A and B are shown apart, each in its own frame.
Chain A
Amino acid sequence: MLKTFILGVASGVVIAAGLLYLVPAVDQHREASLVSVQANGGNTESFHVNLPHDRIMFGAADKDAIPASLQWPRAEVLGDTQVELFKIRNRNDVVVGVASRISGTGTASGPVLEWALHLPARGTLYANLQPQPDDAGRRSGRLRAGTREFAAMTGSVNERLVRPDTAQDGGVFEGRIELVTALVGLSERSE
């Protein structure tokens, strides 16, 4: 009887350890990566934000915040800093991550416009773009850093605001923001 009990204790330990080992504690939902191969190596991928539905928040001094109950800090140092959060979608219009867009005119940096795209199952992209758009409304920039899947990548990130002429008071755009990445592995580029 005692031996059976001790065997049961050992079995319990093994079963618990086995379950914890075999069953993943976290299993992130994945969407297929919709990547197009570039002719010169690397790949391109496009993401977009549908406005206003995908905007999570907008905050800036002296502008209408989203949501309206958001309190932007009264800190002089922030100046004209604007922070926006979005849900980002892939080519199939499925939400695949979240992104931050920060812009402002810093005393040390001058005008700044940056994106951080966080795709939970894949990694994060960090890009800085030209603050001023070209005639077609595009802003081009470079990938400054990436994590996990994007850690060993380099390349460009371009932003295009579609239908920017529907801007509301306070400079908040309605329409669609398109982001296109053209990335190549660092090892491929050095070959």
Chain B
Amino acid sequence: MKYAGSWLAGAVLGVLLFLAGLYYNPLANRLTVSPLAVSGQPLIDLAYSTVPTDAIAFTNNGESRISPYPEKIAELWEPTVRRTTVLVTLFTGSRGQAKGVGVKFASESERTSLLKGHALVDSAWHVYLPESGSLFVDQTENMWSYVRNIVLPARFSSADSWRGTWYGITTTGPNALGTARVAGSSGRFADLTTEAVEAISARAYSALQGPVSATGNLTIAAAEPASN
């Protein structure tokens, strides 16, 4: 009996050690240098707030800690869409001026593997910039670093919140260099095929409400000079 107890205690410690190893895995660090930095192409930078109440609309399955916005917006409770969120937001340029609107669909990816430090999200942006044109961004995002450095510390905090400065590039594919695939459709972007990356700058997060102060940046490699 004492051997069984010893084995069980060891097994529990083993599980905890393994989980600690996953949590502190140095190989799963965030990417902070954009693969587009060396592209040489002019870049279009579109900023938006990731705080749901700053958005035009945000919805999910209604059971998440992050509430849909605004009030009475339909929730995605059906089995096929309950692991999906949709954000409708205003994009601003580098000087804070409005540039257009974007719709972001994000679904938890079945390729998620915590063993590899991959908390993957399959996401797509539908972007319309009236003065430029429209485009579509297909990307795979790895949110593990965001979850590990912001969401979990906020949950573990006695104040149910996290404050600090965090920057990370979430895009990890589907292109080989870890960039998103972009397809233009109209205006200056008609028939354009290029790449993009998305990054998050976070300053405050509440375990009860979600992001409190955070900005997302969608950077698109443009085929021609873009006026920001």
Contact = CB atoms under 8 A, between A and B. Distances in A.
Given A69-B70, A75-B90, A116-B124, A20 B115 contact: yes
B146 interface: no
B105 A7 contact: no
Contacts of A11: 7, 10-11, 14
Interface string B153-183: 0000000000000000000001000000101
Interface stretch (A120-128, A155-163, A183-191): A120-128
B176 to A, nearest CB: 14
B98 interface: yes
B39 interface: no
Contacts of B130: 77-79, 81, 104-109
A28 interface: yes
A71 B126 contact: no
B6 A4 contact: yes
Contacts of B57: 56-57, 59, 70, 85
Contact of B15 (A15, A31, A104): A15
B186 A106 contact: yes
Interface stretch (A37-45, A92-100, A164-172): A92-100
Nearest to B21: A13
Interface stretch (B26-34, B73-81, B211-219): B73-81
A71 B56 contact: yes
A24 to B, nearest CB: 6
Contacts, number: 260
Contacts of A26: 83, 108-110, 112
A59 B138 contact: no
Contacts of B11: 8-9, 11-12, 15
A79 to B, nearest CB: 6
Interface string A138-162: 0000001101100100000000000
B59 A102 contact: no
A136 interface: no
A81 B101 contact: yes
Contacts of A107: 130-131
8 contacts: A8-B10, A9-B17, A73-B56, A73-B90, A73-B101, A95-B80, A98-B86, A107-B131
6 closest A-B pairs by CB = A12-B14, A8-B10, A109-B187, A145-B183, A108-B187, A75-B98
Given A12-B16, A77-B130, 7 more contacts: A7-B7, A57-B56, A97-B80, A97-B81, A102-B101, A108-B188, A114-B185
Interface of A: 1, 4-17, 20-21, 24-31, 55-57, 59, 67-73, 75-79, 81, 83, 85, 87, 94-98, 100, 102, 104-110, 112, 114, 116, 118-121, 123-124, 126, 128, 144-145, 147-148, 151
